Amino acid sequence: MTPSRQETVAPSLLLETKLYLPRSPRGLVPRQRLCERLDRGAASKLMLVAAPAGFGKTTLLAEWSAGWLASAPAEQRSVAWLSLDRGDNHPGSFWTYLIAALRSAAPGVGASALALLQGPQPAPTETMLTTLLNDLGRIGNDVVLVLDDYHVIDAPEVQDGMAFLLDHLPPQLHLVLAGRADPALPMARLRARGELLETRAAELRFTPDEAVTYLNGVMGLNLTAADVAALEGRTEGWIAALQLAALSMQGRDDVAGFIAGFSGDARYVVDYLVEEVLQRQPADVQHFLLHTSVLDRLSAALCDAVTEQDGAKAMLEALDRGNLFLVPLDDRRRWYRYHHLFADVLRVRLLDQHPDLVPSLHRRASDWYEQHGERAVAIDHALAAEDFERAADLVELAAPATRRDRQDATLRRWLEALPDSHIRVRPVLSNDYAGTLLVRGEVEGVEARLRDAERWLDAVSGDGRGSCPRPPEMVVVDEEQFRALPTAVAIHRAGQALILGDRTATVTHARRALDLAGADNDNHLGRAAAAALIGLASWGTGDLDAARAGYAESLVSMERAGHIADVQGLALALADIQIVQGRLGEAMRTYRQALRLAEEQDGPVLRGTADMYVGMAALHREHDDLPAATELLARSQELGEHLGLPQNPYRWRVVMARVRQAEGDLAGAVELLDDAARVYVGDFSPNVRPVPAMRARLWVEQGRLGDAFGWLHGQGLSVEDDLSYLREFEHVTLARALLAQYRTDRVVRSGQQALELLERLLAAAEDGGRTGSVIEILVLRSLALQARGDVADAVGPLERALALAEPEGYVRIFTDEGPPLATLLAAAGQRGIVPGYVRRLLATFGETPARPSRSATLVEQLSDRELDVLRLLAGDLDGPHIARELVLSLNTVRTHTKNIYAKLGVNSRRTAVRRARELDLLRTRR
């Protein structure tokens, strides 16, 4: 378990096939009536295409999507397509692929949502989706999102997220679900609101005319009207059954007899017809179909390996030409899959006829995927073959890369699929299992796994170096990981202690890990993890010197290990500590060094790069270089739009809020902090600057003391609290609120409490070496004394603050306090206190931009109805409730909303409301 969690942006090898928008297959029967139905339904929130297998759901949606795209300019419409499978029935996988699909249609969306999803501790689904929805609300074109085979998704967490997505869907996004069953979504509510279009088996069935077109026109059977009617009646228009029947009838003389020869329920008809189709294929084709049915995706080379024959390329091309239920997965027809219905029957037949062959086929597939670098798929096939020995070997070999790519959930799934007996004899896997638990903050089961690993280490001499013969029952396949195992176990022991809150034990185990890693000159990663844990434990206790030393040592070792993405994560933590200690110059060098290392790397941009820009922007903001700060934030955002960065999206919002504050836009700053609070996801680092506390400070500045004190009291903060570094920022916020209350209402007790609290905070910060905090507290103490009328005494603390701040170039820590501090600075200047520095600070007070003027006018005035909608947008009602309040259709409300955005020059609800307040547009119309 390593406290730093960064990653590179690496595309999945299967992503291309999952996001492939199917083309209309050969021999298509045009479904104009159904396409027109879908056209009408495009205004709905949800279009559901639900029917059993074989009713042409995917084919219909492919045809309709192509027509919908062609009916408008390319820049106005796009389609995002995602083909789901059983492996996507997990929140992490599902949402990652869904966002990837959306990004294929709207490249600028989903960056922050992906970062939240792929963090060390994934954000709550609603938080991640709120971020995604904010992005979707800003796109200018219509996007259709098709989720095919949605019936494979039954995870409650995914269904809950989809319900939330539907409830907040922006008007330009249209969701289409295709599957064999109704999804576990609020269908009745959507139906009652007129927000659901349903296309089911009754509509999908071939009509008699379509059956004639298919059987005689496409398949060239020249059946009589009576034969077509009989066949259509027997199959009830079921497309898959008609296709199977047509394939069976090709070349037959007694067509009428064949049609009369089958009857029964749907499952029987399909089984019968597949049997007929298979029997009419040559033996080599039957052999190929059955043996390759174990594969979810087919390519020529893979099929050759599984069948142990040559000629798969020609076979796949022939099956494709013959419309034998083969679905291409790319435009070059390199990868295919079988139609699900056909594959199901093939697999059942394979199990019936050759049950002993199935494990061998999966093993061959596993071998092929392993040889071609797709170890994850190789593991899945090994598990399907119940070849647990091979699967365990592959998991052990795959674990380092899986952890490096932050796919801990995948590693855990594999380990949970293995019998416990296969894990307990493998010390490396036992330790890996402990790590997958710890990375999610779980401790149950960790102790047993670590003891299993330690038992084998003891058996080979206690240090894992192989000085004693290994017990024959112990299994190790990754010798490098086994050599590093003593260090890894000690690191996990430290992580376990950290989660349990035992910081002393954390440091003890981490130091042991450092000692063990020191004996292994190549174990830079172990040393990095151990040093970071020492830094983390020290940070939590307020020992910032030890924390800074730990992270600095970890950063050096991580760089030697070549894990530059993790270097950036460590740099972020190290700079945070340096800033609290008042070492702004060191923090800037930390960011720049991490950026330099990243720029020297080949390959994709590292996820933490955007965070480095955000950190540098914060420092430029403190130096009052707002243009430089804004430029760096824009560079970070540009990376986010293209690559799913930054790793910590809340930080971007916090720094941008600080820039807005410096520009005088307090309302905009509060909105950004609202967003930051929504996307914030905690990790192992102490949350010493909570976003809600920052927002409370802005409320104080806005004069919203009731809101500020409401939050402070809700946190249980009081002036009598025992002070600690972990809550120092919140207690300083309390002092700010008390000082503002004294200034506003002249509550003497508040002023006295503020001074007493600041005095205690100052002593604690000085004892802890937190120079950044000391400067802020001294400034506030000066202001408190000034407010009480003790101007002469007020200059003393300010003089100390200036002396500490000047070497590091602090500016905004003074100028953010406004005119009262300008008065004190002028007094300090008159006394000759650091005169050059004071002059520079005073010069900045006249440069703060004014807040936006309310006298600004609109290019085009809003209509009365648009003003009605705008006023309701400023409240808590969602779209459907606004529609009901105004007795309008939801589509009309959406149209008004688009017009409002255009006239105000904004692209989101929050920005529209803020702009409306600036223009005084929210007064009730009489």
CATH value at residue 894? 1.10.10.10
890 vs 389: which has the higher pLDDT: 389
**269 in a domain, yes or no?**
yes
**Which of residues 607 and 832 earns the better pLDDT score?**
832
Please return the burial class of 819, using the count of CB atoms within 10 Å of its CB with bins 0-12, 13-18 and 19+.
exposed
Q: Higher confidence at residue 18 or residue 869?
A: 869
Whether residue 552 has pLDDT greater than 90 = yes
Residue 484 lies in a domain: yes
Q: How many CB atoms lie within 10 A of CB 337?
A: 19
Q: Decide if 789 is inside a domain.
A: no
- pTM score, two decimals? 0.68
Q: Residue 81 has what pLDDT?
A: 93
Mean pLDDT throughout 328-356?
Answer: 84
**Paired tokens of 75:** 């820049």
Task: Look at residues 685, 705, 723 and tell me which one is the last residue of a structural domain.
Answer: 685
Of 742, 769, 796, which one is at a domain's C-terminal end? 769
Residues 314 and 462 in one domain: no
Q: Residues near 902 by Cβ (< 8 Å), separated by ≥ 6?
A: none
Count structural domains, the chain: 7
Omega of the bond prior to 646 within 30 degrees of 0, cis?
yes
pLDDT at residue 642 in the model: 46
Across 224-238, 649-663, 696-710, least confident range: 224-238
Establish if 396 belongs to a structural domain: no
- 420 forms beta bridges with none
- The C-alpha atoms of residue 523 and residue 562 are separated, in whole angstroms, by 11
Residues 181 and 46 in one domain: yes
| Contact partners, residue 7, CB within 8 Å, separation at least 6 | 118, 404, 405, 406, 565, 606, 607, 647
Query: Is the model's pLDDT at 815 over the cut of 70?
Result: yes
Q: CA nearest 134: which of 108, 97, 98, 158?
A: 108
Q: What percent of the chain has pLDDT over 90?
A: 47
Find all residues with CB under 8 Å of 796, minimum gap 6, and list them.
Answer: 782
Tell me if 796 is assigned to some domain. no
Average pLDDT over residues 73-80: 88
In degrees rounded to 5, what are phi and psi of residue 385? -80, -5
| CATH number of the CATH domain containing 620 | 1.25.40
pLDDT grade, residue 272 (50/70/90)? low
Report the pLDDT averaged over residues 262-269.
Answer: 54
Q: Are 148 and 17 in contact (CB under 8 A)?
A: no
Q: Is 274 contained in some domain?
A: yes
The angle that helices 705-714 and 728-745 make with each other, rounded to 10 degrees, is 140
pLDDT at site 563: 81
Contact of 195 with 46, CB cutoff 8 Å: yes
pLDDT digit string (tens) for 848-880?
A: 443 433 334 454 677 778 888 888 888 878 788
Q: Quick check: 910 pLDDT over 60?
A: yes
Q: Is 688 helix (H, G, I), strand (E, B) or coil?
A: coil
Kindly report, residue by residue over 51-69, the tens digit of the pLDDT. 877 788 888 999 898 888 8
In sequence order, what are the beta bridge partners of 175?
Answer: 46, 145
Is pLDDT above 60 for 519?
Answer: no
Per-residue pLDDT at 267 exceeds 60: no
Q: And the tokens for 686?
A: 């102490």
Which pLDDT belongs to residue 878? 79
Same domain flag for 181 and 319: no
Residues 11 and 85 in one domain: yes
Q: What pLDDT sits at residue 852? A: 39
Beta bridge partners of 147: 82, 177
**Which residue would you say has higher pLDDT here, 453 or 903?**
453
pLDDT digits (tens, 9 = 90+) for 730-739: 999 999 999 9
- 261 three-state secondary structure: coil
Amino acid at 344: D
Q: Are residues 148 and 270 in the same domain?
A: no
SS3 state of residue 337:
strand
How do residues 631-686 score in pLDDT, each as one tens digit?
999 888 877 644 444 557 889 999 999 999 999 899 999 999 998 898 887 777 89
Range of the domain at 333: 283-372
Q: Which of these ranges, 131-135, 432-436, 459-463, has the smallest mean pLDDT?
A: 459-463
Asked whether residue 782 carries a pLDDT value surpassing 80, the answer given is: yes
In angstroms, the CA 560 to CA 543 distance is 26
Same domain, 40 and 186: yes
In a domain, 870, yes or no: yes
So what's the pLDDT on residue 25? 58
Query: pLDDT-based confidence at 710, cuts 50/70/90?
Result: very high
Query: In terms of pLDDT, which residue wins out, 596 or 16?
Result: 596
Together in a domain, 458 and 473: yes
Average per-residue pLDDT for the chain: 85
The token duo for 134 is 């904010």
Q: What tokens appear for 213 in the block?
A: 């077109």
Q: What is the mean pLDDT of residues 144-164?
A: 92
Between 44 and 280, the more confident residue is 44
What is the percent of the chain with per-residue pLDDT over 70, rounded to a whole number?
90
Q: How many other β-carbons are positioned within 10 Å of the β-carbon of residue 113?
A: 29
Q: Are 81 and 133 in a shared domain?
A: yes
CB distance 674 to 710 below 8 Å: no
Mean pLDDT of 902-908: 73
Residues 54 and 145 in one domain: yes
Q: Does residue 649 share a domain with residue 735?
A: no
- How far apart are the C-alpha atoms of 268 and 265, rounded to whole Å? 5
pLDDT at position 288 is: 94
Are residue 728 and residue 759 in the same domain, yes or no? yes
Same domain, 141 and 20: yes
The single-letter DSSP state of residue 469 is P
Distances (CA, A) of 188 to 122, 192, 196: 31, 6, 9
Q: What does each C-alpha distance from 755 to 68, 183, 705, 724, 734 come to in angstroms?
A: 68, 60, 18, 18, 11
Say whether pLDDT at 926 is over 60.
Answer: no
At 44, the pLDDT band (50, 70, 90 cuts) reads confident
**Burial zone of 603 (CB within 10 Å; 0-12 exposed, 13-18 middle, 19+ buried):** exposed
Percent helix / strand / coil, the chain, rounded to 5: 65, 5, 30
Answer yes or no: is 439 within a domain. yes
Distances (CA, A) of 272 to 264, 266, 269, 278, 737: 10, 10, 5, 10, 79
Domain boundary among 143, 175, 204: 204
CA distance 152 to 87: 9
Token digits of residue 582: 């008042």
Determine the pLDDT at residue 263: 56
- The predicted pLDDT at position 810 comes to 96
